[in-house]
């Protein structure tokens, strides 16, 4: 669902600050979910830290010409690595990661209550 929503925002939503922010939140949420999938027993906050570190690393990578070169050679990489740095993206990445961490923590506490 997260991938579908992200692609819908990218391809169908009009370009602008709202769609940019929503795309960043969904990207970060996807990364957080992937980290949780790869490490299901890891604590929620740890998966959040890893996901946010990935997102910040990708954003900082955009300060170099590498993502633009990759996108020219294989256009789908633009979706994963972007092409231009924006400090505001860091805020939206944090928002997406926090959203997933909160949802996972709520789910975990709800499951614990049901098992008790």
Q: What is the pLDDT of residues 4-52, one digit of tens each?
A: 887 788 777 778 888 888 989 999 999 999 999 999 999 999 999 999 9
Closest CA to 44 of 106, 113, 109, 105: 105
Query: With 90 as the cut, is the pLDDT of residue 54 above it?
Result: yes
Q: Distance (Å, rounded) from C-alpha 33 to C-alpha 100? A: 7
What is each CA distance from 86 to 17, 56, 82, 106, in whole angstroms?
12, 11, 10, 31
What pLDDT, on the 0 to 100 scale, is given for residue 63?
A: 96
Q: Distance (Å, rounded) from C-alpha 62 to C-alpha 94? A: 17
What pLDDT, on the 0 to 100 scale, is given for residue 98?
A: 96
Query: With 60 as the cut, is the pLDDT of residue 3 above it?
Result: yes
CA angle 86, 92, 93 (to 5 degrees): 90
Query: With 80 as the cut, is the pLDDT of residue 84 above it?
Result: yes
């Amino acid at each position: 669902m997260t991938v579908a929503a992200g692609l819908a925002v990218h391809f169908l939503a009009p370009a602008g600050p709202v769609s940019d922010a929503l795309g960043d939140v969904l990207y970060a949420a996807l990364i957080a979910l992937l980290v949780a999938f790869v490490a299901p027993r890891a604590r929620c906050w740890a998966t959040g830290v890893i996901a946010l570190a990935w997102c910040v690393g990708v954003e900082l990578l955009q300060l170099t010409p590498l993502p633009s070169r990759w996108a020219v050679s294989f256009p789908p990489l633009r979706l994963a690595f972007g092409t231009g740095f924006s400090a505001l993206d860091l805020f939206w990445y944090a928002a997406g990661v926090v959203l997933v961490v909160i949802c996972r923590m709520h789910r975990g506490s709800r499951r614990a209550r049901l098992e008790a």
